[in-house]
Structure 1
Amino acid sequence: MNAKTIERTCFLLAILILILVPDVGMASELHVKAGESIQGVVDKALPGDTIFIEPGEFNESILINKENLTIKSSSGNPDNTIIKGINAESYVFEITAIGVNISGFSITEGRCGVFLNRVDNCTVNDNKISNLEAGIYLFESSNNLLSNNMVYSNLDCGIKLLSSPDNVIYRNYFNNTNNARDNKFNTWNDSRGNYWSDYEGSDENGDGIGDSAYAVNPEAGSMDYMPLMEYLHSSPVLPTARFTSDITEGFAPLSVRFKDFSENATSRLWMFGDGNTSDSPSPLHTFFNEGEYIVSLIVSNENDSDSASVTIRALNASRQSDPVLPEAKLISNATGGRVPLVIKFVDLSRNADCITWSFGDGKKSCCPEPEHTFCCPGNYTVSLVAGNENGTSTTCIAISVLKNETDMNTKENLEGEEASGTENKGLIGCITRYIGGTSDEVQDDNEVQDESIDAEATGNSEPENESKRIIQGIIHKGELESIKSSVVSTKDSVVSAVSSKVHTETGISLENGTLRVQKSIEGFIDNHAPESSKNSLPEMKKRIAPWVPSFLGLAGVAFMVSMLKRGRRSRK
């Protein structure tokens, strides 16, 4: 038989073994929930399996006699996974097989917390071991690793090694009646040693490590050369599996996008439930057949592994009746207020691939939760359009934006001042035109009333007519005639003075006439103003008085020009 034939035969035998015995070399993960038996699961486990203990309190003594088993708390937190011995004589964990790993537990109440009985290559780490006779006990066991354990409040000793050389013990916390007993050579430090409650050395350079060694057994050479001044418990960094899917149900063929958001993971594996796998951080997978698929993501690092899953439902496309249409929905934190008005909107649409907001003031947005500011008063219709490949859906909400209270008060004050000025101008103008003889606008009460009725009927009410009615309410026509006569007589006296060429007397007569007219008007207002208006007479005088001298001054200039013209004609 040549070499090729032997190689081919071995290859076929290997395939045959894998087919007939598929579980060879395949480690399993087993779980123990609170209230279940850890020992029962250990008895069913195979060498190499990992047993996860869920948080809870367990009362049992566990014998581990299968090689390479890993027994650990699923949370990695010893404070929520507590294992107590059955009685004061029990060993909580007794290990009689090589390669066993115990981690993540609070171990208490019994004769011994962890007993390594004639074994090697075992690991005991990240545990809290307390209130026992001996915390950790090694008997004729070598090449084991004990690290990052808190061993405290144990009656006999924290750790006891009997005929057990070449073990490595470091970064542990020991605070017991007697911390350690060792009759062989063992290594008690690597880059760091252990914390010893009875260490009496100092740390002159402040590096956290004692300047002198801690003697466990000087005669056997068991020395901790790097004792810790303080203990900092460093829990292992565990991975956490988290992922999302953009859809969980639809008609086959159904394409689903997954995205990994796991923490503290160095590797990942997607299992899609249809026989396909992927290690991509964001895989797109298509389910071609109808059915329910459990999609799992398994992540891991050097300390542990974790998994998460979701169910994907692929429906029969032949049962699809109507297309799935979008349904637009929105909410807002307000529907009205004063400028500037800031409102937050939230999209609650269903079956939508895209959305568009229109705020009624020309602004748009595609954000799912936009915040919009309305700067101007008015009524706005805010609409949300949701769409997918089958159509669109729209919903609206009305927003009422009011003026700012400060702006409204300012405008009302300005309008009041304008109205007052207009009233004064109309009254003074009307009086001035009438006295000057350029208009015969003042009418009696009946005429004013008739004119007001006609204006209301025709819808035409001029400011001049309004001035007439204001004057009529204060001064009657006959009384204005007397004022006008006074002005005329003043004119005559001025003309007479000019004819005699006595210019000085002309100026005096004009000034006296002006004063007489002003006093006549003021006296008339005092005597004829309505009783209800007495409180406002000073204001009325203030409005009229500044305008009368100005008018009379202009009238005087006109009279003087006329006088000069007449003088020239008389000389000619």
Structure 2
Amino acid sequence: MKKPSLVVLLLILSLFLVSFPQIEEAKAQGTIYIRADGTVEGTDKIHQSGDIYRLTANISEGIQIQKSSIVLDGEGFTLQGNGEGRGIDLSNGRGQDPSRPEINNVTVKNLKILNFYYGIDNANTNNNTFYGNYIENCQSSLWIIGSLNNNITFNTLNNASISINYSGSNIITKNNFINCWVTLWLSTPPIMDGNYWNNYNGTDNNGDGMGDTPYVIDENNQDNYPLMEPVVIPEFPSWLILPLFLVLAPIVVVIRNKISHKSWI
């Protein structure tokens, strides 16, 4: 009786040991890599054409980008998480190993990112553009740490948060923020104007589509031109609107600053 019992016990133990790594992998979720040499590792659902990478289907894994100066176009497809890990990782692990190269000048657009811990990890990276993305149910939707000169526009964040630490010169405009909160710490205040906030309760007496009073983020930061209605994402080609925005955004900021200055004179 003892021998069969021992055999059964060993079988159960062996099955547990075999399955244990699979359980851990599922929890941590797999990662797809766009390597420094431009190759894609971990999926056949990303099509590469030069420096442009396009999703061809939904993916249930995060993507770590290890190459600068590329465009990742989600084409409306979804990165589906399980509450862990990173949807898009631009940090290249520099928080653990500062000797790794910075990943800069990356555009991420037209992508749905659902249910990761970090929607987009934009730590220790600069000059990136996030355009036309939808991010929902991520503990930290946009994690902007030690990061400069990023453009964040025409995105929708739902049940989300934005963390901006040790960062500066970021432009955040024409986004929809639904049940969303922002935290800033030791950062130059970003230009965060012209966004829609679903909990804004101001009025628009002159009917220009913008609230008559700022949306207060915290005691040091506010959206001076909060929108009364959600932003409608442009339907004309993003290859046209994105370059136009990158050219016009600094001009609009200068004009707004001049108008604001005159209003105080």
2:69 match: 68
Does structure 1 residue 207 correspond to structure 2 residue 208?
Answer: yes
The correspondence for 1:84, drawn from 61, 80, 84, is 80
TM-score by length of 1: 0.32
For structure 2, the 5+ residue unaligned runs are 1-29, 40-49, 92-102, 244-265
CA displacement at 1:302 relative to structure 2? 5.8
Distance 1:89 1:38, change over 3 A: closer
CA displacement at 1:88 relative to structure 2? 2.1
2:167 maps to a residue whose letter is S
The correspondence for 1:139, drawn from 145, 151, 159, is 145
Distance 1:301 1:204, change over 3 A: closer
1:39 match: 32
Aligned partners of 1:167 and 1:187 also within 8 Å: yes
The correspondence for 2:165, drawn from 157, 162, 169, is 162
Q: Of Structure 1 and Structure 2, which has the larger fraction of its residues in helix?
A: 1
CA displacement at 1:232 relative to structure 2? 2.8
What is the distance in 2 between the residues matched to 1:212 and 1:117?
Answer: 32
Once the two structures are superposed, what CA deviation does each residue of 1:20-69 show, in whole Å capped at 9, x if it has no partner? Answer: xxxxxxxxxxxxxxxxx9835556517x7111112x21011211121111
1:180 match: 182
| 3-state SS in 2 of match to 1:237 | coil
1:108 match: 114
Aligned partners of 2:33 and 2:64 also within 8 Å: no
What is the distance in 2 between the residues matched to 1:197 and 1:105?
Answer: 22
2:212 maps to a residue whose letter is D
Aligned partners of 2:200 and 2:215 also within 8 Å: yes
What is the distance in 1 between the residues matched to 2:170 and 2:34?
Answer: 29
Q: What is the 5 A alignment of 1:116-135? A: 116-135=122-141
CA displacement at 1:160 relative to structure 2? 1.5
What is the distance in 1 between the residues matched to 2:31 and 2:121?
Answer: 17
CA displacement at 1:92 relative to structure 2? 0.7
Structure with the greater relative contact order (CA < 8 A, sep ≥ 6): 1 or 2? Answer: 2
Aligned partners of 1:114 and 1:135 also within 8 Å: yes
Once the two structures are superposed, what CA deviation does each residue of 1:312-359 show, in whole Å capped at 9, x if it has no partner? Answer: xxxxxxxxxxxxxxxxxxxxxxxxxxxxxxxxxxxxxxxxxxxxxxxx
Distance 1:196 1:114, change over 3 A: same
Once the two structures are superposed, what CA deviation does each residue of 1:343-401 show, in whole Å capped at 9, x if it has no partner? Answer: xxxxxxxxxxxxxxxxxxxxxxxxxxxxxxxxxxxxxxxxxxxxxxxxxxxxxxxxxxx
1:420 match: none
1:167 maps to a residue whose letter is N
RMSD: 2.3
The correspondence for 1:52, drawn from 37, 51, 54, is 54
Aligned partners of 1:53 and 1:72 also within 8 Å: yes
What is the distance in 2 between the residues matched to 1:139 and 1:41?
Answer: 21
Once the two structures are superposed, what CA deviation does each residue of 1:93-146 show, in whole Å capped at 9, x if it has no partner? Answer: 011311011000110111011110111100011011001112111011111000
Once the two structures are superposed, what CA deviation does each residue of 1:432-478 show, in whole Å capped at 9, x if it has no partner? Answer: xxxxxxxxxxxxxxxxxxxxxxxxxxxxxxxxxxxxxxxxxxxxxxx
CA displacement at 1:208 relative to structure 2? 0.8
Aligned partners of 1:141 and 1:163 also within 8 Å: yes
1:82 maps to a residue whose letter is T
1:196 match: 197
Which of the pair has more CA radius of gyration? 1
Q: What is the 5 A alignment of 1:530-545? A: none
Distance 1:83 1:232, change over 3 A: same
1:554 match: none
The correspondence for 1:93, drawn from 84, 88, 92, is 88
What is the distance in 2 between the residues matched to 1:45 and 1:39?
Answer: 13
For structure 1, the 5+ residue unaligned runs are 1-36, 240-299, 305-572
CA displacement at 1:182 relative to structure 2? 1.8
| 3-state SS in 1 of match to 2:59 | strand
What is the distance in 1 between the residues matched to 2:169 and 2:235?
Answer: 25
1:229 match: 228
What is the distance in 1 between the residues matched to 2:62 and 2:124?
Answer: 18
Q: What is the 5 A alignment of 1:319-398? A: none
Aligned partners of 1:237 and 1:303 also within 8 Å: no
CA displacement at 1:301 relative to structure 2? 4.6
TM-score by length of 2: 0.66
What is the distance in 1 between the residues matched to 2:192 and 2:38?
Answer: 33
| 3-state SS in 1 of match to 2:190 | coil
Once the two structures are superposed, what CA deviation does each residue of 1:284-331 show, in whole Å capped at 9, x if it has no partner? Answer: xxxxxxxxxxxxxxxx75659xxxxxxxxxxxxxxxxxxxxxxxxxxx
Distance 1:188 1:111, change over 3 A: same
Q: What is the 5 A alignment of 1:410-425? A: none
